[in-house]
Amino acid sequence: MDSWTRKGKFSLTALTLQIVFILLFAIFADYDYGADAKHDFDLDSDSHRDAFMADHPDVQRLDANFMAMFQDVHVMIFVGFGFLMVFLKRYGYSSVGFNMLTAAFAIQWAILMGGFLHLHDGKIMLSISTLFTADFAAAAVLISFGAVLGRLSPLQMLMMAMLEITIFQVNEWMGLSIFKAVDVGGSMFVHVFGAYFGIGMSMMLAHNAEIEQGQISRKNEASYYSDLFAMIGTIFLWIFWPSFNSALAVGNAQQRAVINSYVALASCCVVAFAVSTLVHPKDKLEMAHIQNATLAGGVAIGTSADMMIHPFGSMIVGSIAGLVSVLGYQFLTPFLGDRLKIKDTCGVNNLHGMPGIIAGVVGVIMVSMASEEEYGSSLYKIFPAMAPNNGTLLADLQGKFSDSIQAGDGRTASQQAVWQLVALAVSLAMGIFGGMFTGLVLRTPIWNRPHGGDIYEDDPWWHVEEGQPELAPEGGEEMAYEAPPAPMKKHISHMHSLVQ
Amino acid sequence: MDSWTRKGKFSLTALTLQIVFILLFAIFADYDYGADAKHDFDLDSDSHRDAFMADHPDVQRLDANFMAMFQDVHVMIFVGFGFLMVFLKRYGYSSVGFNMLTAAFAIQWAILMGGFLHLHDGKIMLSISTLFTADFAAAAVLISFGAVLGRLSPLQMLMMAMLEITIFQVNEWMGLSIFKAVDVGGSMFVHVFGAYFGIGMSMMLAHNAEIEQGQISRKNEASYYSDLFAMIGTIFLWIFWPSFNSALAVGNAQQRAVINSYVALASCCVVAFAVSTLVHPKDKLEMAHIQNATLAGGVAIGTSADMMIHPFGSMIVGSIAGLVSVLGYQFLTPFLGDRLKIKDTCGVNNLHGMPGIIAGVVGVIMVSMASEEEYGSSLYKIFPAMAPNNGTLLADLQGKFSDSIQAGDGRTASQQAVWQLVALAVSLAMGIFGGMFTGLVLRTPIWNRPHGGDIYEDDPWWHVEEGQPELAPEGGEEMAYEAPPAPMKKHISHMHSLVQ
Amino acid sequence: MDSWTRKGKFSLTALTLQIVFILLFAIFADYDYGADAKHDFDLDSDSHRDAFMADHPDVQRLDANFMAMFQDVHVMIFVGFGFLMVFLKRYGYSSVGFNMLTAAFAIQWAILMGGFLHLHDGKIMLSISTLFTADFAAAAVLISFGAVLGRLSPLQMLMMAMLEITIFQVNEWMGLSIFKAVDVGGSMFVHVFGAYFGIGMSMMLAHNAEIEQGQISRKNEASYYSDLFAMIGTIFLWIFWPSFNSALAVGNAQQRAVINSYVALASCCVVAFAVSTLVHPKDKLEMAHIQNATLAGGVAIGTSADMMIHPFGSMIVGSIAGLVSVLGYQFLTPFLGDRLKIKDTCGVNNLHGMPGIIAGVVGVIMVSMASEEEYGSSLYKIFPAMAPNNGTLLADLQGKFSDSIQAGDGRTASQQAVWQLVALAVSLAMGIFGGMFTGLVLRTPIWNRPHGGDIYEDDPWWHVEEGQPELAPEGGEEMAYEAPPAPMKKHISHMHSLVQ
């Protein structure tokens, strides 16, 4: 390909879209109440503020811990996802660098697309809460990115982000506003959607046969240090997952979500180690399992993290997720890849896909058992659609608890559970079909798609410094970077015997 | 050893214990007041809450900064300790991976064991505060882990965690509830206990002669990159130590604990650099000193971090700790290792042991000087046992300050100082003897203990990817690591053609 | 140089200065109101506290999020700056280690020097806020450190920190207290000052011709893994920059500063990737651009982060900074280095210098447009000098808004804008001339200055473990990266002689 054409494409597209973003922000976006200098917290009376909040019910108050939780999630998006994907031995610059590019691009578009679906008087009002939900949306894109890691050009990544964020926001809006499903940790809207979007893309990219070829498949491997870098990502994700699952919870559900996530992750981690050893023929641990399956418990508890699942319930969910995830890496990914030619570089189906479905199903079960007896007034805050829509019933409830309970749809627990199932199924479908559509778009030859040796390789995109791990020799022709290959050893000892 | 037997042992033990944990959580554990949906903060009157708190004095209120501090400490446990130990060149997967496994396992058992000692109506009530103290307990296990790093099988690690957490919780309970000692940063209960527990174990493991052998001792070394990875651990520990030392402080002691820790760490760091250069024959810095001794100030200020030690006092303590720690690494660890055959892989005696003893002694001194004149009403909150047990005196004090002061034991400062010393001595003794007992248990041949070349080596436990640093050649038989240089290649092919 | 003399110099200087610091802390420093045990928050009436605060207006109240933001900034100083500079392939130990040493040293001196300029009854009163501003001051030193990275001895670094912190505190004090300029993110006082201080030093160090020599300049390069380590620094800086820019903001300006920084960084990142590709002859990304220029948006929005620049304004500023920064790395740094012999190892002119000037200019523009119409009562809190100094006008304003508005200097927006420009110009001048003076001091031969092969090299200062990347061969004479093991070398030369 002509270098100038190619260069022009990525750079000019990125610059153009960035200018479009700025224009759209100029027209539509401004500070939310709590970030606008006109509203001076120290001076405004509470009544002034309460009146404003009553007029703008979507504007969220910031919790004292929210800034810290936002920063925790920010670490997950940029350090966590970024380094988790550095495991590919010759794709480290790209994994962490393009993760940053894609996320920085996606969060801007996510603010716009999310804002268009929740306009206030024609404006998108920005608060830290907006930034937080933009990070959430970016997470879906980065999960999908994992499924096709090493196989897209930067230009394709931007296109992917544009399309995926759009579909993501529509799916989440349907789930929350139409189906009125709840999903505090985003397991359905972020993880299931993102994972199957990535797999859908991968199915359509039509290079899945090509990448089985020896030379390329040997680039789809880790090295000792790339695995250690990846553990930076794993551990920061593991540590901050409780913040991810709890930041959007209301009232004291926030602390509950932290506890549930913490014990789910701990038990998932133990089970992942145990099962990884168990399934290995020489009873060894696989780094890929440890890097990923230890996190599956955070995904699987996501939907029900703020519910009364009790600590032991969270631990059961976490344990099952750890088990399923390791088995997925060990048996399902190779099966899908070799038999069905569905490649999934990072195994997002095992870390985000199946655990996300578990999360959705656990959510359905927990919701179907939810009662005022167990939740008290919190029931109508965690599941707002279960509050009465009937004025008399609402007044009774407000009398019993507080005026702060708002009218809902009067759903029973079973009805809410059905809607949870609908949201899960729709997220799955929107993910797969959205991803397949996006894959079809991306396979057109105009997007600088990498081929052959450019796959799983930094060199086409980066000026690569010395010390990039080289490939192990295929036959014996190539010289390798590591220990002299076996044939050379033979020559040397042969010569050694000769010269003595 | 038969592979199946070995595999079965670790995996089935881990899975069995995880199931036991889940059962115990199901029977005993539930959400604390502040995380139970029935209690709706927004609706409950303060009086409702205050009444509950009065009935359950052990249930802690959460400070607004507590979630952030908990996450800081979580980073220390999993990133800090995990990467700090990656310095061993061929044990990187294991250091960060088994740190994660051991910690995830230990925190669950710590919640149970700690809970059994503080049951509320037969229940263990979980809050973020519980998770925080579980992380604290895990820290003790990870410190001990450092003393025997590279010399245990994963199965031994789980056994170690089971035994150590049990003894830890009993020791801490005695220290806090019987001796009524104070130790806000856990220097006695976590660092002294953990360090000498590890050394006690190491003494009993009976492989200390074996590991002096050339091949093994050369695995007990760092490489350039493993040292850089270890610095990730060091720096995250250094940064977040103020949160570790202050999170459990009450009232405005929290801010004081942050300040004391910050200046102690800063001066310790400068002294560690200066002394490391000074003791080196070629005036060079040792990475092992910088990775570890820079942190000793955080340990040494731990017990008195919330006391009125004043910033300069903290700096003196930090400086002494930095000095002692470097001297320990340079002179004491080799002496103990070579002469007494007490091996301490990470030198935990220098980072946690001696600085922890310094912390305890500084605590004794500070407590002996504590007066109402200097502390005001805080005296009876920081040292609750110094509040009067005599009704009249208590009433006087409540009149002078506030009704919130609760009856204590009427100790004088000197009496409290003696109890501090008792707690220090008991922690030391419980550590050493607990560790020796655990070491005896672990040396029985049923726990897959590594031998010979399996020591300090990832390969027995992990599928290791290419690029693991190889050992420098001993005699000349072994081939060394890294590609033959280009000119050499030429010679070889030249010779190749010649000799054929 | 005689090794003992050299050793003595660094170690004894560091120890002596540490002792001096402790003495000065003993004489001058103590806990602030909010960290002194005598003041018991739970007992003190609000009126007691308010009376104290009225007497000590400089004593800041702590925001609930402040501790978390302080820790974020602490991560930036030690992990962010530390790892960002690890990119040099043979200077990794030094980059992260000396960053830690220099920062730990600088923060102590910064507390003292800053405190001397703001004494309360002859005392320096420490709060978390003091620690935060000490970290800020250290940032300036670390920025300067980047300009001369690899070319100073540790002893020179301590001297640099002593001199730079002194000049920094004077400059900041003039800027804030005399010129009454505002600079919430420290772009003028930290970034412009620090960058040009470093460049001023570099100009005077008089080894800039020497380091162009082949062998040395080849050490001024990255390796594959050193680049990945550097990305750890980049990403933690990028993530936590919103905390850096917002922690010192008042009232609801804090949330606004987070939002402005977040969108500025996101757009800067996209532009940096686009322009980096565009300027490369083979349309490849340069790691140096991505590691640094992606952060320029955080610098460029710093001065106006708490102003009503609106999200799109922040994005324009961020985009321009990304563009300027990449162009600087690509064209200006080589020009300055080769033509003018002004070396700037990390390119701090591009990351901190020019973006800091942009920040100052944007601040001037924003201030010149500030009005009560847009800011409400916040105008007089964000720009205190714009509050009336006339009693009648002040009373009117207090009547309109609140008694909490304090008397200022009655400046108009234009007058405030002029003072902003003065503060920018003075910071630039103090930086350059302060740096040149410091460089003159440091070039005297008593400070163990490294020469020749000791430049950009860990070996003179550290016991370096195996695996440090070797230099690429210059002609073909030199052996390439990693030496063949000794025994093999022997065989080869033996064979070599045989076959000739």
Q: B interface mutation test: which of A273, A280, A284 has the most B CBs within 10 A?
A: A273
**B212: in domain:** yes
**A497: in domain:** no
pLDDT digits (tens, 9 = 90+) for A445-479: 889 889 888 999 999 999 999 999 988 665 544 33
Shortest distance between the Cα of A438 and any Cα of chain C, in A, equals 21
What whole-number distance in Å separates Cα of residue C149 and Cα of residue C198?
Answer: 10
pLDDT digits (tens, 9 = 90+) for A378-431: 999 999 999 999 889 999 998 888 777 889 999 999 999 999 999 999 999 999
Interface of C with A in 207-236 (CB under 8 A): 221-228, 231-232, 235-236
Q: What pLDDT was estimated at residue B103?
A: 98
Residue contacts between A and C (CB atoms, under 8 Å): 234
Shortest distance between the Cα of C310 and any Cα of chain A, in A, equals 6
Q: B interface mutation test: which of A62, A72, A73, A225 has the most B CBs within 10 A?
A: A225
**Cβ burial, residue C218 (10 Å; 0-12/13-18/19+):** middle
Chains that touch C (3 or more CB pairs under 8 A): A, B
Between B290, B308, B483, which is nearest C482 by CB? B483
Query: How many domains are there within chain A?
Result: 1
Cβ pair C64:A62 closer than 8 A = no
Cβ pair C255:A62 closer than 8 A = yes
Give the range of the structural domain holding residue A428, as residue numbers without chain letter: 64-454
Using the CB atoms, write b or e for A385-422: b if 16+ within 10 Å.
Answer: bbbbeeeeebeebbeebeeebebbeebebeebbbbbbb
CATH number at residue A396: 1.10.3430.10
Q: For residues C399-407, give the mean pLDDT.
A: 84
Q: Give CB contacts under 8 A, 24+ apart, made by A399-405.
A: A401/A376, A401/A377, A401/B40, A401/B43, A402/A377, A402/B42, A402/B43, A404/B42, A404/B43, A405/A377, A405/A380, A405/A381
Collect all residues with Cβ–Cβ distance below 8 Å to A126 and sequence separation of at least 6: A29, A30, A31, A32, A35, A111, C259, C263, C311
**A13: in domain:** no
Between A21, A128, A465, which is nearest C224 by CB? A465
Q: What pLDDT was estimated at residue C403?
A: 79
Using the CB atoms, write b or e for C59-68: b if 16+ within 10 Å.
Answer: ebebbebbbb
Band the pLDDT of A217: cuts 50, 70, 90.
confident
Interface of A with C in 49-88 (CB under 8 A): 62, 64-65, 67-68, 71, 74-75, 78-79, 82-83, 86
Shortest distance between the Cα of B50 and any Cα of chain A, in A, equals 16
Q: For residues A239-260, give the mean pLDDT.
A: 92
What whole-number distance in Å separates Cα of residue A273 and Cα of residue B10?
Answer: 9
Comparing alpha-carbon positions, the chain A residue that sits nearest to C263 is A108
Q: Which tokens go with B247?
A: 């999170």
**C46: in domain:** no
Q: For residues C242-267, give the mean pLDDT.
A: 93
**A471: in domain:** no
Chains that touch A (3 or more CB pairs under 8 A): B, C
Between C34, C38, C101, which is nearest B375 by CB? C38
Q: Give CB contacts under 8 A, 24+ apart, made by C326-335.
A: C326/C271, C326/C272, C326/C275, C326/C276, C326/C279, C326/C289, C326/C293, C326/C350, C327/C275, C327/C279, C328/C354, C329/C286, C329/C288, C329/C289, C329/C292, C329/C293, C330/C276, C330/C279, C330/C280, C330/C286, C330/C289, C331/C279
Comparing alpha-carbon positions, the chain B residue that sits nearest to C481 is B485
How many residues in chain B?
Answer: 500
Q: Tell me the CB-side half-sphere exposure of residue A484, using CA atoms within 13 A.
A: 21
**B33: in domain:** no
Whole-number average pLDDT of chain C: 89
- Tell whether the model's pLDDT for residue C97 goes beyond 50: yes
Q: What pLDDT was estimated at residue A476?
A: 44
Collect all residues with Cβ–Cβ distance below 8 Å to B33 and sequence separation of at least 6: B39, B49, B52, B53, B56, B59, B125, B127
Band the pLDDT of C260: cuts 50, 70, 90.
very high
Provide the residue-wise pLDDT of chain B in tens; the chain has 500 residues: 455 455 689 999 999 999 999 999 999 999 988 888 887 655 444 555 556 556 555 444 455 567 889 999 999 999 999 999 999 999 999 999 999 999 999 999 999 999 999 998 899 999 999 999 999 999 999 999 999 999 999 999 999 999 999 999 999 999 999 999 999 999 999 999 999 999 999 999 866 666 766 678 788 899 999 999 999 999 999 999 999 999 998 878 889 999 999 999 999 999 999 999 999 988 999 999 999 999 999 999 999 999 999 999 999 999 999 999 999 999 999 999 888 889 999 999 999 999 999 999 999 999 999 999 999 989 999 999 999 998 899 999 988 887 778 899 999 999 999 999 999 999 999 999 999 999 999 998 889 889 888 999 999 999 999 999 988 665 544 333 344 344 444 444 444 444 43
Collect all residues with Cβ–Cβ distance below 8 Å to B334 and sequence separation of at least 6: none
Cβ pair C100:B378 closer than 8 A = no
What whole-number distance in Å separates Cα of residue A154 and Cα of residue A163?
Answer: 14
Between B34, B154, B484, which is nearest A484 by CB? B484
Q: Does B285 touch chain C (CB under 8 A)?
A: yes
> CA angle, A153 as apex, A150 and A155 as ends, to 5°?
145
- Tell whether the model's pLDDT for residue C305 goes beyond 70: yes
Q: B interface mutation test: which of C129, C466, C488, C494 has the most B CBs within 10 A?
A: C466
- Tell whether the model's pLDDT for residue C49 goes beyond 70: no
**C92: in domain:** yes
Is the entire prediction scored with pTM above 0.80? yes
Q: Does C28 touch chain B (CB under 8 A)?
A: no
CA-to-CA separations, B27 to A320, B170, B346, in angstroms, rounded: 20, 21, 39
**C305: in domain:** yes
Cβ pair A3:C280 closer than 8 A = no
Cβ pair C43:B375 closer than 8 A = no
Shortest distance between the Cα of C135 and any Cα of chain A, in A, equals 19
